[in-house]
Amino acid sequence: MAADIGPGATVMGDFWHMGLEETSFMGAFICAGKLLSHVHIAGLKERIIPGVHPEADQYVDGFKGLKLIGYRGAVSFEGGWPRNSADPKKELPQDEKTKLILNMTKLLREQWVMS
Amino acid sequence: MPKLAPPDKPAELNLCLQWWGIPGGEMKEKLDFLEASGFGAVEIPSGDWPIKNADAMIEAMKGRKLFLATACGPSDFSYAEPEKREAEVQKFLPIIEALGKMKSVGLIICPARGNLSEPGRLSGKELRKDFVENTGKRLAQHARRSTAPPSCWSRCAVTRRRFCARSPTERGWRLTSAQARP
């Protein structure tokens, strides 16, 4: 569709949706190629910040695809936060969110190096 | 099977947060957090936000090792009534202009949200045709015109082979009417 629209239109990839619909993160990113201009990322078990379920949050295959196409755009977290186990009716405290953000950056950087 | 040509430049990981998720209250505080934590980009809201905050954001981004990624927000071009689709296009034109001013990568656009089988919606086939020939094309053309300098533009053409055969809502591969990163 973006090709049919022509210059001015690109595509974005979203790890969460791709996890539901694609057979290969790497293959999908390679197919997008130079037209890929933005990437969203979230946990692959729950659509929350990556790293809460590290056994499920495996992005190495997708990162390999991004490296193969020379992707230099943003990989942006789009998703929610885990429940506040201390008080499920309340949002997670900001300091907990900040810890999770830093945990995500560590996880993603490690997997980028591995890819 | 064709071989992939090696990329012109090596890939880099530019981690990014959406505006609402960045710790801090003020613009400067949020951007300081991103820089201090090693993020490479910031994703801003769509809607009125880019229009209202373009000048402040341009100023706040000066001298930082961050780039402005896309703006993200809801959109829907699946209305069966042409007037409603036109209203949606008109809503996004000034947003695209503000993003061009800010040298943002672009605007995330979903051709459809919700269920296309609902009354008052185009069919998937109709939506694709209208988006390619009318709504999407006009937004993309406007994005190109709004980029300064125009020579920043370099992206076009290739897309996923299966793109057209997918769900009409095109979840996961949302179209971005994008400006090339300066």
pTM of the predicted structure, to 2 decimals:
0.88
Residue pLDDT, tens place only, A79-111 = 999 999 899 899 999 999 999 999 999 999 999
Q: How many CA atoms lie within 13 A of A75 on its CB side?
A: 27
What is residue A40's three-state secondary structure? strand
**Rounded CA separation B79/B126 (Å):** 10
B175–A5 C-beta distance less than 8 A: yes
A12–B181 C-beta distance less than 8 A: no
**Rounded CA separation A38/B63 (Å):** 23
A76 to chain B: closest CA residue: B16
What is residue B86's three-state secondary structure? helix
* pLDDT at site A84: 92
B-contacting residues of A 45-74, CB under 8 Å?
Answer: 63, 66-74
ipTM, two decimals, is 0.97
Of A35, A69, A75, the CB nearest to B16: A75
B2 CA: distance to closest CA in chain A (Å): 12
* pLDDT at site B148: 40
- For chain A, the domains span 2-114
At A56, which helix (H) or strand (E)? Answer: none
Q: Where are the alpha helices (DSSP H) in B103-154?
A: 124-130, 136-146
B131–A3 C-beta distance less than 8 A: no
Judging contacts by C-beta atoms under 8 Å, the chain A residues touching residue B170 are 1
Across chain B, where does the E strand assignment appear?
14-18, 41-45, 67-72, 106-109, 175-178
The answer to whether A46 and A16 are in contact (CB under 8 A) is no
Q: Give the Cβ contact number of residue B170 at 10 Å.
A: 21
Of B23, B38, B41, the CB nearest to A74: B41
One-letter amino acid for residue B76 of the chain: D
The answer to whether A109 and B13 are in contact (CB under 8 A) is yes
Residue pLDDT, tens place only, A26-79 = 999 998 888 888 999 999 999 999 999 999 999 999 999 999 999 999 999 999
Under DSSP, the state recorded for B174 is -
A74–B69 C-beta distance less than 8 A: yes
Tell me the count of A-B CB pairs closer than 8 A. 199
* pLDDT at site B176: 55
CA torsion, points B164, B165, B166, B169, in degrees to nearest 10?
Answer: 50
One-letter amino acid for residue B129 of the chain: K
* pLDDT at site B115: 67
Beta bridge partners of A9: B177
Low-confidence ranges of chain B (pLDDT < 70): 1-2, 113-115, 147-182
Q: What is the CATH number of domain A2-114?
A: 3.20.20.150
* pLDDT at site A50: 98
B71 to chain A: closest CA residue: A38
* pLDDT at site B146: 78
The CATH number of domain B16-112+120-178 is 3.40.50.450: no
Closest CA to B148 of B92, B109, B97, B107: B97
**Rounded CA separation A61/A114 (Å):** 10
* pLDDT at site B168: 34
